[in-house]
Structure 1
Amino acid sequence: MKTSQISQVRDFNRALTRRIGVLSDDYLGRGRPLGEARILFEIGPGGADVRDLRTRLGLDSGYLSRMLRSLEAQGLVASRRADGDGRVRRAVLTRKGRREWDTLDRHSREFAASLLAPLGAPQRERLLAAMAEVERLMRAAAVTIVPADPCDADARACMRAYFDELAQRFEQGFDPGRAPEPEAYLPPGGLFLVARLDGQAIGCGALRSHGRGVGEIKHMWVAPSARGLGVAQRLLEALEAHAAATGIRTLRLDTHRALGEARALYLRNGYREIPRYNDNPYADHWFEKRIARAK
């Protein structure tokens, strides 16, 4: 990564924070800093579980608690136990808080309009397109990919979602009972990766060794809401890197004819089609790739 790239990010951050007014304690002229205003907005008319707020905004528990107490002291927010689960705290707007939320929403819209107003129509379109691209890439940068126990809750949730999608997309349906057991991806002979965004599992990929330097990639899946962020590419690269580091020299995989995007991913990453190597009834295409030894 170049020093000039890091400097450009820092320049952008400084320009943005100055322009949108987040440096004062009077965000949008409402007498409170951005942090409190954002929490108030995120609670919204429907309320929100405190743990969801913490995950969604990436806040420390103590910091969030202090801001909630401040909003409660202002008479804007009340906390209560969530219905059906006494262990979960839920934040809701009071009547005063709802009026403040409406005012905050109106001021936010007016401020957004003020950013666009000085620009001509072509410049507005360029700015909006650039904002959309920055938001997409910032989401992509927030994705984390880590090894996981294939039997834990997030891994199983990803697998269920993956199998459900296969059942919908395959004309003959899909029987999860034909898939390998999760234990097949336990170390040292296997690896199961989970991708997360904002604390939510949004993708997975698995690798298992067949011995003699041969490994197989399985269960590559990304949630529809996270597609287009390059998650599948990162999962594949991480699996390949692990394979190389553990002595695997040949990677194989199979896929169904309905999964055109998967075939495109494998082809652009150097996988070549080969004859059938297994008896998977859901496979129509088989691929192989030789990988270099890890340095």
Structure 2
Amino acid sequence: MDAEHLQQVRRFNRAVTGRIGVLSDDYLGSGRALGEARLIFEIGRGGADIRDLRVRLSLDSGYLSRLLRSLEKQGLATSQRAAGDARVRQVRLTAKGRKEWAALDRRSQDVAVSLLTPLGERQRERLLAAMGEVERLLRASSVVIEPADPGSADARLCIEGYFSELQERFEAGFDPTRSISADPAELVPPAGLLLLARLDGQPVGCAALKISGRRFGEIKRMWVAPSARGLGIAQRLLDALEKHAADAGLSVLRLDTNRTLGEARALYARNGYVEIAPYNANPYADHWYEKRGLRPRK
């Protein structure tokens, strides 16, 4: 990693934290540090599951518990077991907590105004565009891609999302029993692999590899949830699949796709996949691609 790149990130972090006033124990004039103030805001008027708060705020259980105990001691929040699932605890703001939430919301709005008001119109537009880009890229950097059990609940959620989208987009619908198989048993080593992409702990994409013989692999189940598109997840999934394939000794990857999936075809084309003659009898395939010469990556 380039040293100047790292220094730029650190300068940016210092500039932002100083400008928005998170360095004191009086964030937004609330008399409390950012951690407590942010937790109040995230609980919100409707309450929240503690498990979701932990994931959303990237907090470990112990620290989150201490923050919640502090809010409860101050009479700002209460927590209890969920009615339908005793394993889930929910937290809600009290009347006093909701009043505090409203005050934080107003003060946060005032800070936003103070950031934008001194700037001219073009500067405001540039700042807002830059903020949007930074937010997207920070979300992208939060995505984790790793091998997963193809029979897990998260894997089933993604694959069902994939099937559902194909059903909507294909002109004649989609029946997975008529397509080339990629069953869970075919997607575990050494027969294959399933990768899941997770954002804030939630599954948002998948990609699979089926291994055929000593040299050939086939890409299956490439999908990204609509809510997570535009973050470069499909490219990262493809890169990870290629690395796993090369590390497994494969030198050729193949795939088939439908003509309606233009974005998928563009992804493969810009990554060196070339169109070839049909190599299977998939009734949903209109295009077949291949990439040769895979090499293990360091």
TM bracket, shorter-chain basis: over 0.9
| Aligned partner letter, 1:161 | G
Residue segments in structure 2 that go unaligned for 5+ positions in a row: none
Q: SS of 2:231's equivalent?
A: coil
Residue 262, structure 1, aligned to residue 264, structure 2: yes
Q: CA RMSD in A?
A: 0.9
Equivalent of 1:189, from 188, 191, 195? Answer: 191
Give distance in 1, aligned partners of 2:126 and 2:74.
40
Q: Deviations over 1:24-53 (max 9, x none)?
A: 000000100111011100000100010110
Q: Deviations over 1:73-92 (max 9, x none)?
A: 11110111212112211100
Residue 291, structure 1, aligned to residue 293, structure 2: yes
Equivalent of 2:242, from 236, 240, 243? Answer: 240
- Deviates most, 108-117 or 79-88: 79-88
Give distance in 2, aligned partners of 1:212 and 1:116.
60
| Aligned partner letter, 1:284 | D
Give distance in 2, aligned partners of 1:24 and 1:164.
49
TM-score for the superposition, normalised by structure 1: 0.98
Residue 115, structure 1, aligned to residue 115, structure 2: yes
Q: SS of 2:250's equivalent?
A: coil
Q: Is the 8 A contact 1:251 1:291 kept in 2?
A: no
Equivalent of 2:254, from 245, 252, 256? Answer: 252
Offset, 1:176: 2.2
Give distance in 1, aligned partners of 2:50 and 2:38.
14
Give distance in 2, aligned partners of 1:59 and 1:288.
43
Give distance in 2, aligned partners of 1:87 and 1:182.
29
**What is aligned with 1:21?**
21
Residue 37, structure 1, aligned to residue 42, structure 2: no
Offset, 1:292: 3.0
Q: SS of 2:288's equivalent?
A: strand
Q: Is the 8 A contact 1:185 1:192 kept in 2?
A: yes
Q: Is the 8 A contact 2:182 2:220 kept in 1?
A: no
Give distance in 1, aligned partners of 2:88 and 2:34.
26
**What is aligned with 1:73?**
73
Give distance in 1, aligned partners of 2:41 and 2:31.
15
Identity of aligned residues (%): 68
Offset, 1:246: 1.0
**What is aligned with 2:174?**
174
Q: Is the 8 A contact 2:26 2:33 kept in 1?
A: yes
Q: Deviations over 1:138-190 (max 9, x none)?
A: 00000000001111111111101100111011111111223331111110121
Give distance in 2, aligned partners of 1:181 and 1:89.
36
Q: Is the 8 A contact 1:185 1:206 kept in 2?
A: yes
Q: Is the 8 A contact 1:240 1:291 kept in 2?
A: no
Q: Is the 8 A contact 2:182 2:210 kept in 1?
A: no
Q: Is the 8 A contact 1:253 1:288 kept in 2?
A: yes
Q: Deviations over 1:76-120 (max 9, x none)?
A: 101112121122111001011111111110110011101111101
Q: SS of 1:202's equivalent?
A: strand
Residue segments in structure 1 that go unaligned for 5+ positions in a row: none
Q: Deviations over 1:116-139 (max 9, x none)?
A: 111011000000000000000000
**What is aligned with 1:63?**
63
Q: Which runs of 4+ in 1 moved over 4 A?
A: none
Give distance in 2, aligned partners of 1:291 and 1:183.
27
Alignment: residue pair count: 295
| Aligned partner letter, 1:201 | P
Give distance in 1, aligned partners of 2:286 and 2:277.
10
The correspondence of residues 21-170 of structure 1 with structure 2, limited to 5 A, is 21-170=21-170
**What is aligned with 1:271?**
273
Offset, 1:278: 0.3
**What is aligned with 1:281?**
283
Give distance in 2, aligned partners of 1:252 and 1:184.
16
**What is aligned with 2:219?**
217
